[in-house]
Amino acid sequence: MIYLILSIFLSVLLLINFRIFPRFEINTAQAISLNYIVCFALGFSLIPADQHFTFNLKADWAWYCLALGVGFIITFILSGLSTQKAGMTATSLANNLSLVIPVLASLILYNTHAKDFELLNYVGLALAFIAVGLATFKGKGQDLKKGSLWLPFAVFAMYGITNSAINYINLRFIPDPSLVIPVTLVMVLGAMVSGVLLVIYRYFKHQEKFELKNGIAAISLGIPNFLSFYFLILTLTYYGNSGAFVYPIYNMGVILVSALVGIFFFKESLSKVNIAGLLLGLVAILLISYQELGLSM
């Protein structure tokens, strides 16, 4: 259970980083682009002694993983912008409810679902989309930053697409468990290379020079970014790789803790509609996964 708690805490810490970056005038895009260097170094240092990392471009999965790394950068930048403009609660909800996209991909495209979906499961999938809309809604008198409404939906879509792509790569190219670490590091390598190229591009295009504080921010972002994933993998291992049991608890934990941090530490205001969206999101996760959680409905 300690691994699950750490994974939830570190996932929320990512959003906290994004939330405080503007206070210190951190260049979010630069910090995100460079954080994958930290992720790769940390991941490389945690490779078990009996395994090693090799980078073979001739492998079937190599180019898919490198391309997915670009998707990581895009998703992370959208998540950072959404956290700063739409708030932690809406962004966290959009991120964690994006699980409906890989679920739908498994049902419709991959045909790999381990259970027969019932009516309540499909109701949960539908409610997830509604929940993101309600959590993002801003009524009269609420702080509405320009261009913020679309960001949680973009986060929802991109996290769903990247997670679906990871599932596809796992199903199509990685039957051997020993490839998990090399494949993960190649994904991070793709993100790292594209991030460095983005920093170089912005330097020549916008004369955006590197500042030490952005490098420090990349470290504060990269450590929880990788470790949140690492501890989630350890949690899955502890619970016999029962993702159907672990992910709902993880998602609900991140949503609730993010909402509490946003309200009490960053004074984010939630309307009754937003709160309804938050609660509806939790209900959606329960309906999607109630069989695995041992609930009867």
Domain boundaries, the chain: 2-289
pLDDT at 141 over 60: no
pLDDT at 224 over 90: yes
pLDDT at 3 over 60: yes
pLDDT at 36 over 80: yes
pLDDT at position 147: 55
Quick check: 132 and 281 in contact, CB under 8 A? yes
End-to-end Cα, the chain, rounded Å = 26
Lowest mean pLDDT among 22-31, 114-123, 272-281: 114-123
Q: What does DSSP assign to residue 23? A: G
pLDDT tens figures, 57-81? 777 778 888 899 899 999 999 999 9
The stretch 207-220 carries a mean pLDDT of 92
Q: Which residues contact 156 (CB under 8 A, 6 or more apart)?
A: 94, 95, 97, 98, 101, 132
CA distance 254 to 246: 12
Single-letter amino acid code for the residue at 196: V
Closest CA to 39 of 235, 290, 229, 295: 229
pLDDT at 187 over 80: yes
CA distance 274 to 293: 26
CA distance 10 to 181: 20
Residue 114: pLDDT band (50, 70, 90) is: low
For the whole model, what pTM was predicted?
Answer: 0.87
Per-residue CA distances from 285 to 113, 214, 281 (Å): 16, 36, 6
